[in-house]
Structures are given as C-alpha cells and as structure tokens.
Amino acid sequence: MKAEIKSFKLGITSCYLVCGKDVVLVDSGMPDKLKLFQKELARLGVDPMRIKLIVLTHSHFDHSGTASDIRRLTGAKIAIHESERDCVEHDSVLIPKGVNMLGKITKPIIFSFKIPFRKFTPDILIGNKPYPLTEYGIDGYIMHTPGHTIGSLSIILDSGEAIVGCMAHNGFPFRRKPGLPIYAQDISAIRENWKILIDKGVTRVYPGHGKPFPIEVMKRELNYAVTN
C-alpha cells in the first residue's frame, strides 16, 4: 500500500507526515511551534498518537527545534544521524558554506542567529546504512545523504517520493525556484547523492523549504540527461 504524504509548515520549514500503518514525522520545524503543530494535525485529521517516529533530516534549529516537545506529546522516538547527536544534545552548530552568490552574501547573516531550542537525547542513531521503515507499515527507508551537513538524511519511498531536507530548496527565503541548496558543507557530495537518488528511481522531491517538485528539475540542475 502506498504511503500518503501530508505536508505543512512550522515556521519557514516544510515538515511532512508519512502515513502508513503508523505515521512518521519528518522534521519538527522551528522552536516553540508545538501549538501550531497540534493545529496542523487537527487540520490534516491526524491523531498525534499515531506518530511513532520523528526523523530529523539534520540538526539545524529550524528542522529540530520542536522535536523534544513533539516527542513529549506523542511518545514517538526521535531519529537523527549519529554524526549530529552532539548538536541536538548540546550547543554545537554545523555551519555550511554559501555555494552561490546569494548563499555567500546571506550566510553571515543567517548563521549569525543562534536561536535556542530545547536540547534532547535522540532515541535512534542512524548510521551510513539504509534504515528500513517497514515496521511502521511504510515501504521505504531512511538514507544518509551528506552534503548540506555531514549527517543529513533523506527518506526514500518505494513509490518514488523522496523527502530530502536541505538537499534542495524551493521557496523563501532561499530560492524563488526549486533546485540545489544555497548552503552546503559539501556541495559536491549533494550532487553525487542526487545522482544516486535519480538512479534509484525517485520521481518527486519534497524539500525542507518550499513545495514539492518533479525530479526533472534536479536532472536539469545536474545536467544529468547530458552526462548520463
């Protein structure tokens, strides 16, 4: 059975509910958004107690900010890549580079703000091997896709959808059109991971900021049709 994806925003961040037998939440948005989260669940008709797993695509405050509060509400476990554990348990921040002109100009401004969020200990540490989601009734897995940060994760569904965090941007305040992120610790790693996802048959992309878009956008960004 194909999992259903429901999207909503918590602050500037696009968050996703992947609904199978259970529900997996991907990213928890900006800090102090629990009331908005509950409002969005009610709007989407999702019982919070169905949420069994919270997957954080990376540790930046706009993706991990309300994770601790949502765990307390739902009882769900929090999963993050093992390399970013220290970032959510303490105050370390992974600062990426600006990879284009806009990124280089805005990076000193964007990453000068250190918005605090309630720190927490993750329940599940994801390594470099795929982590299956079958126990939640979802045909898909969590995949390590480093580049924006060293521990960035994506959720890949067998039906062709990929929820990729900041491997892509598609909206304010980062891009007007969908494409590669404007910040990355290693943009070449992001490009290589995109080629892997394309080869895996991904057809639709769900970014960490902005609306979903077809994989053809990324193929054009990578000149994939020309070089492959």
pLDDT tens column, 117-158 = 889 999 999 999 999 999 999 999 999 999 999 999 999 999
Q: What is the pTM of this model?
A: 0.95
Residue 183's pLDDT band (cuts 50, 70, 90): very high
Instruction: Say what the pLDDT of residue 130 is.
Output: 98
- The DSSP bridge pattern shows strands 51-55 and 77-81 to be parallel
**How high is the mean pLDDT of the chain?**
94
193: domain CATH number?
3.60.15.10
**pLDDT, tens digit (0-9, with 9 covering 90-100), for 66-105:** 999 999 999 999 999 999 999 999 978 899 999 988 889 8
Helix axes 67-74, 34-44, angle to 10 degrees: 60
Sequence-separated contacts (24+) of 33-39 with Cβ below 8 Å: 33/65, 33/66, 34/66, 34/69, 34/70, 34/73, 36/10, 37/10, 37/66, 37/69, 37/70, 37/73, 38/73
Q: What is the pLDDT of residues 3-34, one digit of tens each?
A: 999 999 999 999 999 999 999 999 999 999 99
Residue 149 structural domain: 4-115+124-227
61 contacts 117 by C-beta, under 8 angstroms = yes
Cα 205 from Cα 165, distance rounded (Å): 10
Task: Give the DSSP letter of residue 170.
Answer: B
Number of domains in the chain: 1
CB 19 within 8 Å of CB 4: yes
Between 76 and 2, residue with greater pLDDT: 76
pLDDT at res. 174: 87
